[in-house]
Each structure stands twice: as structure tokens, then as C-alpha cells.
Amino acid sequence: MPSVRTGLLRVIGAATAAYGVAAACRPDWLARPVGMVGEQGDTHPHTDMALRPLAWRDAADGLAMLLAPAGPALVTAAAVRIASDVGDAVLFGRTVTGRFRRAGAVAGALGWAALTAAALAAGRRDPTPCPA
């Protein structure tokens, strides 16, 4: 596995893990962008409880991307990350109210999926130049 691919996937994994842990501690970071807050901008304890597993999922997958050995294990962790982000985009697209808020939530999730997919694709290119 080329180091560029591995390096970028590790950075994405570290960012995902850090965000996941932070969001598990502060579920309102997930709730606010998708409109799951009260009139005062606070989250209900049940909302916090429902969002924490999503945050821990991201933390676990990010940690897997960060620590998995290069090769199939890292590719699998990245694929799980992509699938999770696409699933989030579908969920947000169907449930988030307000066109602007929905578009932002979907774009954010798909952006992370695309970044991870691009990191995978970058490693699949043949690094040897074509003969002239």
C-alpha cells in the first residue's frame, strides 16, 4: 500500500476519532447542525442519549483507520467510514428539516465520504510512469 494513501487515511482516521470522542462528550455538536435542539439551543437528554452511539461509532471507526495495519484491514476500516457517512447522508436527507440545513448536513456527510474514497483511490494509481 503506498504511503500517501496510508498517510491520508491515518489523518482522516485521527480527525474522525477526535471528533467522535468530542461529540460523544458534547452531543450538541451533532444536534445543532441538524436542528435537534430546543428553542434555547439546548439538547434534550434523550437526544443526547440517541446521538452518543453515533459519535462513538465515528470514534471507533476513526481509531480503526488510525491503527489498522496497512492493507485489507485499513481498506475495510475506510470502507466502513464511507458507508457510515453515506448512511448519515441518506438519514439527514430524509429527516432534517429546512432546505438549507438539510443540504448542509447531507453535503457534510458526503464530503467526508468523498474525502475517504479519494484517499483510497489515490493509493490505487500506479506510481510508475508510462513509457514514452
pLDDT per position as a tens digit, 69-90? 999 999 999 999 999 999 999 9
What's residue 35's pLDDT?
87
Does residue 20 carry a pLDDT above 70?
yes
- Cell numbers given for 13: 482516521
Q: Please identify which residue in the block is written with the cell numbers 435537534.
A: 36
CB within 8 Å of 110: residues ≥ 6 apart: 85, 86, 89
Looking at the chain, list the stretches that DSSP marks H as alpha helix, in order from N- to C-terminal side. Answer: 3-25, 28-31, 45-67, 72-95, 99-124
SS3 18: helix
CB within 8 Å of 121: residues ≥ 6 apart: none
Question: CB of 65 within 8 A of CB of 9?
Answer: yes
The pTM assigned to this predicted structure is: 0.85
